[in-house]
Amino acid sequence: HGLAHHSYSATVAALDKAAQRAAFAVAAVAQPEHRSSYPNDDAAEIAAAVGFPCVIKPTSLSGGRGVIRVESPSEARWAAARVRDILALAGQDPTHALLVEAYVAGPEVAVEGVLSAGRLHVLAVFDKPGQAEGPFFPETMLVTPSRLGPAQASAVRATTAQAAAALGLSDGPLHAELRVGRDGPVVLELHARSIGGLCSRTLQFGLDRSLEEVLLRCALGWPTDLERNTAA
């Protein structure tokens, strides 16, 4: 109907965290060391190959559901079984591969943006103060503007744009989660959608336009002020 949008293939790739990892590897996007774990695999052996501590998580779900940090082989076996139970409770296939990823120490941020003809416009960067170090990662608080310094903020934006291009996202919303590790930002995951709930209500643009209105105007090709009101 003439609306700007991400391609179908890019959107499907953004729904699968394993597909994201494969695309990021091809494009040399910074991401955690990782392996896949299938039901017949020994999750302890795969976790040991990645290195402890590591994180076991499903390739779907959101909001931190099913993301568990483990410190030992026995914890890895327990966590893999627990994640499969969570998938079953969520009505998803518990036999799908799980991701086993190296744990990245450092501040975690969420990037909210919109892509237009492949160009990323960052609308907001959220800090996650007091973030959990595991074993579970509930999202309790996000704060914007971010407290990252100029160099770190620039690196986060550049890495996010590189990750979006690797997935083929071109026109529409983007929500990314990154950790700023010792060697710079690494992408935890990226989605072809906007942030929701109370977080989206904190963002106002131009003459008090909401995030949702901004995204709709971009899809329609209407002139849109992407400058966010800067109050915390």
Per-residue pLDDT of 136-150, as tens digits, reads 988 788 999 999 999
What average pLDDT score do residues 21-34 get?
98
- Which of these ranges, 25-29, 75-79, 190-194, 221-225, has the smallest mean pLDDT? 221-225
Between the alpha carbon of residue 36 and those of residues 57, 66, 130, the distances in Å are 10, 15, 29
Rounded to 10°, the helix 150-167/8-15 angle is 120
Q: What is the pLDDT of residue 206?
A: 84
Q: What is the pLDDT of residue 55?
A: 97
Q: What's the mean per-residue pLDDT of the chain? A: 94
- For the cut 90, the answer to whether the pLDDT of residue 68 exceeds it is yes
List, as one string, the DSSP characters of 31-81: ---EEEE-TTS-HHHHHHHH-SSEEEEESS--TTTT-EEE-SHHHHHHHHH
- Decide: helix, strand or coil at residue 145: coil
What's CA 174's distance to the chain center, in Å? 9
Cβ proximity of 134 and 69 under 8 Å: yes
- Which of these ranges, 54-58, 112-116, 129-133, 167-171, has the smallest mean pLDDT? 129-133
d(CA 51, CA 76): 11
Q: What is the pLDDT of residue 202?
A: 87
